């Protein structure tokens, strides 16, 4: 999806983003982020990059594994501003820094981070392959990538319930609360198109990662992917 479109979309829903996120997922998104962070624990990362950090929930969750420095990048200033407020209120400014930046061109030197992660953001990249290869570049050798993204359940009856919810209920509630006509139609549309399972693991390998893994969560509504540089 075009960056200008994505930026203006997230700029316009930023103030309602957290509320809608937790409401539409029934709060399960906190648990998903926690699971994703746990995957990085084995390498005890000290420098972590959170791409498409948005309002910084994943960056904040990553403090659980005790990094020294967490950098969150995003193309939407409005999302970053909400995240900055949250970080200041929680007195976490010593550890987490949010900066404007884009996945396809990361302003950090090669090998700077021990781990790079992205939650519900890869789907929005203008260029997925470029984003993943930039994440590969800025991670040190033996460092890790962790991607948390929506996927689609395939077993009865979850598949049917999910599709009904995602195609009909979610866009309706999203439009009502966000007051944005397209944003929550955009969400299911991007999920339907996004590569998942083996297709996404192949993308990680093409970007240069090895030892790739996937874990499907909550009947397959979301999946955590990891890889090693």
Ligand X SMILES: C[S@@+](CC[C@H](N)C(=O)[O-])C[C@H]1O[C@@H](n2cnc3c(N)ncnc32)[C@H](O)[C@@H]1O
Element spanning 216, H or E: strand 210-217
3-class SS at 9?
Answer: helix
Q: Which of 25, 39, 48, 57 binds ligand X (CB under 6 A)?
A: 57
- The piece of 73-81, 107-115, 158-166, 210-218 that touches ligand X (CB under 6 A) is 73-81
* Cβ closest to ligand X, residue 85 vs residue 198: 85
Minimum Å gap between C-beta 27 and ligand X is 13
- Residue 17: CB atoms within 10 A of its CB come to 20
- The piece of 72-80, 139-147, 163-171, 221-229 that touches ligand X (CB under 6 A) is 72-80
Q: Are 14 and 85 in contact (CB under 8 A)?
A: no
* Cβ closest to ligand X, residue 37 vs residue 58: 58
Q: Which of 37, 45, 54, 84 binds ligand X (CB under 6 A)?
A: 54
Cα atoms in the 13 Å half-sphere on the side-chain side of 33:
22
Measured CA angle at 132 (ends 71, 20), to 5 deg: 60
- The piece of 36-44, 52-60, 62-70, 173-181 that touches ligand X (CB under 6 A) is 52-60
Residues shown for the chain: 229
Facing residues of 13 across strands? none
C-alpha 226, offset from chain centre:
13
DSSP classification of residue 105: B
Work out the burial of residue 182: count CB atoms within 10 Å of its CB; fewer than 13 is exposed, 13-18 middle, 19 or more buried.
middle
Contact set for ligand X, span 124-143 (CB under 6 A): 124-126
* Cβ closest to ligand X, residue 122 vs residue 201: 122
Size of the site for ligand X (CB under 6 A): 24
Q: How far is CA 28 from CA 117, 205, 222, in A?
A: 19, 29, 10
Contact set for ligand X, span 88-117 (CB under 6 A): 102-104
- The piece of 68-76, 162-170, 177-185, 212-220 that touches ligand X (CB under 6 A) is 68-76
* Cβ closest to ligand X, residue 122 vs residue 155: 122
Q: Which of 20, 36, 40, 53 binds ligand X (CB under 6 A)?
A: 53
Q: Which of 74, 134, 149, 196 binds ligand X (CB under 6 A)?
A: 74
Q: Are 214 and 200 in contact (CB under 8 A)?
A: yes
Binding mask 176-205 for ligand X (x = CB under 6 A): ------------------------------
């Amino acid at each position: 999806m075009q960056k200008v479109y994505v930026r203006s979309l997230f700029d316009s829903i930023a103030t309602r983003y957290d509320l809608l996120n937790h409401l539409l997922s029934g709060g399960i998104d906190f648990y998903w982020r926690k699971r994703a962070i746990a995957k990085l624990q084995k390498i005890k990362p000290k420098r972590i990059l959170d791409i498409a950090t948005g309002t910084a929930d994943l960056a904040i969750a990553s403090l659980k594994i005790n990094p020294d420095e967490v950098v969150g990048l995003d193309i939407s200033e409005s999302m970053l501003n909400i995240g900055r407020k949250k970080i200041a209120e929680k007195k976490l400014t010593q550890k987490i820094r949010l900066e404007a930046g884009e996945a396809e061109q990361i302003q950090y030197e090669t090998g700077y981070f021990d781990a790079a992660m992205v939650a519900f953001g890869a789907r929005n990249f203008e260029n997925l392959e470029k984003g993943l290869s930039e994440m590969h570049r800025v991670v040190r050798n033996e460092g890790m990538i962790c991607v948390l993204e929506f996927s689609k359940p395939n077993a009865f009856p979850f598949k049917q319930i999910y599709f009904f919810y995602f195609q009909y209920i979610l866009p309706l509630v999203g439009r009502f609360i966000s007051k944005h006509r397209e944003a929550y139609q955009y969400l299911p549309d991007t999920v339907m198109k996004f590569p998942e399972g083996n297709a996404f693991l192949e993308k990680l390998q093409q970007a240069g990662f090895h030892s790739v893994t996937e874990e499907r969560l909550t009947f397959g509504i979301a999946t955590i992917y990891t890889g090693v540089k």
